[in-house]
């Protein structure tokens, strides 16, 4: 446990330019406290002491603003930057060297039994406010943009953005459709609908005129 803690503190120092010392990170960073609380709760969970596991989990949530279900599987060197409003579900799996920003949700899409939360690969970054919902995998070395809503599997080495999220880069190369998206010359759906209604009204007027002749 102490080896993992040392690894985590070093990971924070590498990823957070504001971190000045291991002691400061250990004492003052809520992300570290959340992971420590999770490790304790997870130990109780594996021993089938479910009430104690949830009690530790909820107390940790109260203290840090980070809710990690005791049943989740968390890898090594997880960094939770700012550590507020994060939710990680019961069947979620988080790999090694993952970076989560504030407001991230690793959740499910319903009340299904079994695996219902995402699997996050190694060395994945999930931006602030992003939601990853469902029992699929986000591949190793991928990046999820801030406020993206991910509802389908993301390949390794990818960048996903948008609502719902779409892959725009794989291994640094643009995905074909991304280059073709024109965000300026876009048809106005309201205008199209109004034009269709106008044509229909003109047709009906012609029919009425023909009946009165």
Strand partners, 94: 74, 120
pTM score:
0.73
Total of domains in the chain:
1
- Closest among 32, 34, 30, 10 to 22, alpha carbons compared: 10
What band does 180 get if pLDDT is binned at 50, 70 and 90?
very low
What band does 6 get if pLDDT is binned at 50, 70 and 90?
confident
What domain range is 180 assigned to?
2-212
CATH number, domain with residue 134: 2.160.10.10
Buried/exposed code over 119-158 (b: 16+ C-beta within 10 A; e: otherwise)? bbbbbbbbbbbbbbbbbebbbbebbbbeebbbeeebebbb
101 Cβ partners below 8 Å, 6+ apart?
Answer: 81, 82, 125, 126, 127, 128, 129, 130, 146
pLDDT tens, 25-36?
Answer: 899 889 999 999
Residue 190 confidence (pLDDT): 67
pLDDT tens, 91-140?
Answer: 999 999 999 999 999 998 777 778 899 999 999 999 999 999 999 999 99
Whole-number Å distance between alpha carbons of 153 and 137: 5
133 Cβ partners below 8 Å, 6+ apart?
Answer: 105, 107, 108, 109, 118, 149, 150, 151
Residue 181 confidence (pLDDT): 42
In the sheet that holds 73-74, the strands lie side by side as 73-74, 93-94, 119-120, 137-138
Residue 57 confidence (pLDDT): 94
Residue 175 confidence (pLDDT): 63
pLDDT tens, 60-90?
Answer: 999 999 999 999 999 999 999 888 899 999 9
pLDDT at 167 over 90: no
Whole-number Å distance between alpha carbons of 150 and 147: 9
pLDDT at 43 over 90: yes
Q: What is the dihedral of CA 44, 89, 12, 96, to 10 degrees?
A: 90
Strand partners, 67: 87
Residue 207 confidence (pLDDT): 85
């Amino acid at each position: 446990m102490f080896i993992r803690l040392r690894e985590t503190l070093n990971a924070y120092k590498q990823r957070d330019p504001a971190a000045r010392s291991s002691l400061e990170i250990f004492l003052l960073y809520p992300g570290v406290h959340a992971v420590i609380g999770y490790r304790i709760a997870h130990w109780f969970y594996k021993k089938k002491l479910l009430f104690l596991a949830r009690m530790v989990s909820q107390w940790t949530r109260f203290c840090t603003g980070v809710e990690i279900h005791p049943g989740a599987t968390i890898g090594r060197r997880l960094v939770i930057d700012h550590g507020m409003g994060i939710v990680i579900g019961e069947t979620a799996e988080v790999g090694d060297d993952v970076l989560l920003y504030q407001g991230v949700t690793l959740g499910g899409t319903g009340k299904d039994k079994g695996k219902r939360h995402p699997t996050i690969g190694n060395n994945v970054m999930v931006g602030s406010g992003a939601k990853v919902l469902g029992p699929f995998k986000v591949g190793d070395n991928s990046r999820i943009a801030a406020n993206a809503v991910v509802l389908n599997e993301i390949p390794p080495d990818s960048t996903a953005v948008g609502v719902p999220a779409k892959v725009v880069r794989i291994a640094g190369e643009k995905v074909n459709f991304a280059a073709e998206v024109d965000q300026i010359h876009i048809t106005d759906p309201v205008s199209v609908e109004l034009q269709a209604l106008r044509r229909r009204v003109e047709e009906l007027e012609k029919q009425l005129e023909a009946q009165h002749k």
